[in-house]
Amino acid sequence: MTSTLQSFNIPEQALDRDCMTLSRHVLQQLESFTPEAQDLSAIMSRIALAGKLISRRLSRAGLMADVLGFTGETNVQGESVKKMDIYANEVFISVFKQSGLVCRLASEEMDEPYYIPENCPIGRYTLLYDPIDGSSNVDININVGSIFAIRQQQGEDLNGQANDLLQNGRQQLAAGYILYGPSTMLVYSLGRGVHSFILDPSLGEFILAQENIKIPEHGPIYSTNEGNFWQWDESIRDYTRYVHRHEGYTSRYSGALVGDIHRILMQGGVFLYPGTVKNPQGKLRLLYETAPLAFLIEQAGGRASNGEQNLLDIMPQKLHQRTPLVIGSKEDVNLVESFISEHKRRQTES
Ligand code: AHG
Ligand code: MN
Ligand code: MN
């Protein structure tokens, strides 16, 4: 039997794909219309709206006043804040205000979480996010990203210290990133595989691009800031020397984690940001950078670790905690870890 579309000679698959918006996909993934499924679908739509607003501003950044450059402030990490960091941080807050969805937002750019008290009686979720990841790329028009994770709101946070957020990464309900590249792409997981969407500017919608993305077991890419070689532990230097001396590896590093990890998700390999002499815990933040990406990469069949422990098992001690990161294809993460454990073994023997 031919379908109506076939009889009119309309390509059914292409049309189906154009109609697979993010919010519809979330409902399909959760296989239900329960209040939780509807909440998650609505939250993802708001995150997508934030992505569209940020993408719109980035696309014209060099033409507008007060978009590029620094604000002159430093954030809780002691890093210089860029105007786009602040704009993007505010965008996430605005899209969730009066949404009834999210009670609290925690971000790289805010010392303490931002409460939306009017949402709290019904907003059962917390959003953790890095509004602009790789913000040094903004002024030179190279890719940047946003990273997000959704967690269940945990109680009242009575002392205002957000201690209830200090849970391991397996408590994340959903996580993902938006990549502002040649096209704007949203990649997410609800713990049921990893799926990517591309922003179709003519529709103003994120449309499904690829479902159930799987990261290769091994890949050629190694992605790390080798300028830190002098500051690394000998185990990481040994791994790097190994890569330099073997055929089949290629180095890629953009200065924006989201872009580098997206490449590794698609092509395989490993991204490393180990501890350094200056920052023994590395640079990247656990709750809104490394844990969401670890959730995603595990869902794609890869691995993420701090070099010694699965990243999703780490219990944070504080909101803005940093952690070393080794993430990507299983075999490549295992290889880096084997250099680290071998060094430890030799140290304890001597
Ligand atoms: P952010 O802009 O949110 O501070 O993150 C930048 C991060 C990450 O995206 C990137 O991989 C890393 O910092 C680059 O750091 P180095 O310049 O030290 O290599
Ligand atoms: Mn970042
Ligand atoms: Mn950032």
Give pLDDT tens digits for 298-311. Answer: 999 999 999 999 99
The pLDDT of residue 269 is above 90:
yes
Q: Distance, CA 299 to ligand 1 centroid (Å)?
A: 23
Confidence bin at 117 (pLDDT 50/70/90)? confident
Q: Please report whether residue 186 resides in a domain.
A: yes
Q: Does 204 lie in the same domain as 239? A: no
Residue ID of nearest Cα to ligand 1 atom 7? 134
Using left for φ > 0, alpha for ψ between -120 and 50, and beta otherwise, residue 247 falls in beta
180 and 144 Cβ atoms separated by less than 8 Å: yes
Q: Residue 84: what pLDDT?
A: 93
Confidence bin at 276 (pLDDT 50/70/90)? very high
- C-alpha count within 13 angstroms, C-beta hemisphere, residue 313: 8
Handedness of CA 219, 224, 226, 231 (dihedral sign): negative
For residue 277, report the phi and psi dihedrals to the nearest 5 degrees: -60, -45
pLDDT digits (tens, 9 = 90+) for 23-48: 999 999 998 888 889 999 999 999 99
223, 47, 45, 266: CA torsion to nearest 10:
0
Residue 42's H or E segment, with its range, is helix 35-59
The CATH number of the domain holding residue 31 is: 3.30.540.10
Q: Does 120 lie in the same domain as 17? A: yes
Identify the domain containing residue 290 by its residue range.
221-349
pLDDT digits (tens, 9 = 90+) for 78-100: 888 888 999 999 999 999 998 88
**If you average pLDDT over residues 38-63, what whole number do you get?**
94
Confidence bin at 254 (pLDDT 50/70/90)? very high
Bridge partners (DSSP) of residue 205 are 200
210 and 256 Cβ atoms separated by less than 8 Å: no
Please tell me what DSSP assigns to residue 310. Answer: B
Residue ID of nearest Cα to ligand 1 atom 17? 255
* Domain end among 155, 179, 210: 210
Q: Please report whether residue 10 resides in a domain.
A: yes
pLDDT digits (tens, 9 = 90+) for 165-216: 899 999 999 999 999 999 999 999 999 999 999 999 999 999 999 999 999 9
Q: Please report whether residue 7 resides in a domain.
A: yes
Q: Does 154 lie in the same domain as 48? A: yes
Q: Does 187 lie in the same domain as 48? A: yes
Q: Please report whether residue 216 resides in a domain.
A: no
The token duo for 91 is: 């965008």
Considering every ligand atom, which ligand is closest to the CA of 131?
3
304 and 175 Cβ atoms separated by less than 8 Å: no
The CATH number of the domain holding residue 270 is: 3.40.190.80
Q: Is 117 exposed, middle or buried (0-12, 13-18, 19+ CB in 10 A)?
A: exposed
pLDDT digits (tens, 9 = 90+) for 205-245: 999 999 999 999 999 999 999 999 999 999 999 999 999 99
Residue ID of nearest Cα to ligand 1 atom 19? 225
The token duo for 316 is: 């944070």
Q: Does 180 lie in the same domain as 109? A: yes
Candidate of 58, 236, 270, 284 to mutate for ligand 1, largest count of ligand atoms within 8 Å of Cβ = 284
* Domain end among 210, 241, 276: 210
Q: Distance, CA 146 to ligand 2 centroid (Å)?
A: 8
Q: Does 94 lie in the same domain as 14? A: yes
What is the bridge-based pairing of β-strands 144-152 and 172-180? antiparallel
Closest to 196 (Cα-Cα) out of 206, 183, 204, 187? 187
Q: Does 197 lie in the same domain as 228? A: no
Q: Please report whether residue 279 resides in a domain.
A: yes
User: Across the chain, what does the average pLDDT equal?
Assistant: 92
**If you average pLDDT over residues 49-71, what whole number do you get?**
88
Q: Please report whether residue 66 resides in a domain.
A: yes
Q: Distance, CA 250 to ligand 1 centroid (Å)?
A: 20
Q: Does 107 lie in the same domain as 8? A: yes
Q: Distance, CA 220 to ligand 1 centroid (Å)?
A: 22
Q: Which range among 19-23, 111-115, 118-122, 216-220 shows the weakest confidence by mean pLDDT?
A: 118-122
Q: Does 237 lie in the same domain as 106? A: no
Pick the atom of ligand 1 nearest to 132's CA: 3
For residue 301, report the phi and psi dihedrals to the nearest 5 degrees: 95, 10
Q: Distance, CA 256 to ligand 3 centroid (Å)?
A: 9
255 and 139 Cβ atoms separated by less than 8 Å: no
Residue ID of nearest Cα to ligand 1 atom 3? 133
CB contact burial 188-224 (16+ within 10 A = b; e otherwise): bbbeeebbbbbbeeeeebbbbbeeebebbebbbbbbb
Q: Does 239 lie in the same domain as 143? A: no
Q: Residue 46: what pLDDT?
A: 97
Q: Does 153 lie in the same domain as 8? A: yes
Number of structural domains found in the chain: 2
* Domain end among 182, 210, 238: 210
Q: Distance, CA 149 to ligand 1 centroid (Å)?
A: 18
Within 6 Å (CB) of ligand 1, which residues are found?
A: 79, 108, 130, 133-135, 225, 255-257, 283
Give the angle 117-121-54 at the CA atoms, nearest 5°: 55
The token duo for 279 is: 């920052």
- C-alpha count within 13 angstroms, C-beta hemisphere, residue 221: 27
What is the bridge-based pairing of β-strands 269-273 and 325-328? antiparallel
Please tell me what DSSP assigns to residue 79. Answer: P
The token duo for 153 is: 């709101």
Q: Does 235 lie in the same domain as 167? A: no
Considering every ligand atom, which ligand is closest to the CA of 287?
2
Q: Please report whether residue 94 resides in a domain.
A: yes
Q: Please report whether residue 191 resides in a domain.
A: yes
